[in-house]
Structure 1
């Protein structure tokens, strides 16, 4: 009897082990994501249907999810982190499993997985949004045009010290107007914020809303909500700065020690497949990362935009000093009024 019980116990443990690891029979995947409902709705059901895998989705803010992953590092709950700023992933490399999808070569070269663990899947660009009813005869084709005295107090922006989209605009204009380390570019920043006249929006959403609602002529914002406004019939124009537009990638990665490793790899492959990238380009307001992909009529083709590439590592390392420099300039402008 003891031998029988021992054999049964051993068999039970083997089966339990098979059930807890990804031995190829797993039909589940746990995904953490800060993404919008539109992006989630375009991705998760399609993945579940294609692979007959049930996705357990936990949604929260990027910071909250990274805190959660750090606390769970010794016993991970999730298999994939789907979404979040690229720079946040690079600051937490220890949380992720090395993996490069076979679809990586189809991605635009600047946005391919070159870290060995972060897979970019959509891009968001820093753009200008213009109210067509208020612009009149003024020409706005890029950053230089924002210094027009007729726009004083009519330019919407959030605070680069507290808003990620406004900080992205700051680094975009620094790069586009001469380079991060060019002191002359900070003269442009001073002139621009003098023209902004202290009118900082309380958040990134208030920037594009104030332009759409006719409160401001032009706003420094990002592409995703601007395209959404166009899709909803707003009388606005999206301007990609002629000096150069930076597109920043959203990242995804497999969590180190993922219990459903094979399914996690399938998910990474899926989000940069031709199939789902065409959906992103035509049915959402997110810009795809593949070289050859369909996009909606309201999304300007990448080939028609003067794109420039941000040095993500440099910006991450110098972010604090950039913010402090901006804050000093802004305080000086306000004190001189």
Structure 2
């Protein structure tokens, strides 16, 4: 099997001199075997590829696992900063009547990922929660850059509420969710909805989110070379999305930098991070900051797995995936009941 090029398995120092903890020692057996297979395949690192080739890598790694039954409809809405926005609406098979609704923002470094790479996950959420999931197909970076993607997501949130009747959803039961950079967008959506006195959001789910611009956390050093997302890959994504790093301190880039006043009264949050990930400390830091601001927050770290584990086909069905899905589904069912 060809190596997934986002994995840079070459240590920055010889093993006998390395100071980093070996992340491979903390993967459950199926996940370890998957990473070993990828490492054996060779190939350039993700950050050495063109953006189109990087997108093809993720399309090859995600979206091909067994999909639960669902009703899927693609629509284009006349909204947002570019004038049109593509969405995919996924409902449980056979569902009728206005359903609660989850607005979903996908991961992939703003560069990669799409409605197909994330469809198995989105279907599981729709079926498990018995909700309509509106998947936002924002414009990938660098074709569009900050803050376009955030504003597209916010426009979708407003559109769902304004057009709830024709979409056959119950906008009074509205949640937002996202993975990785989609978790970044989800955190920002919650803050924007409060600041702009916008749609009332009931709950937010952040899956291994990006919450700050290249922060100085130990996890960035421990897992600098993977096993999946690397620090160089993360910089590659930021460069595509945010060409002006002087804006990194804006809360619509780095939601972790929000003040307690900006965070207070935000929707109840579930934050799920994974052990072997440069991002896990910033996700947990954001969860703590939410809790310190008085927001009901649950933060869970899933051990034995890596970034993107909820979408990667090669680890589908592992205990980490099952546990994280159960947590997210049960949280959303409770909040949207």
Global fold match (TM > 0.5): no
Greater share of helix residues, 1 or 2?
1
- Give the TM-score, by structure 1 length: 0.28
Q: Which has the larger radius of gyration?
A: 1
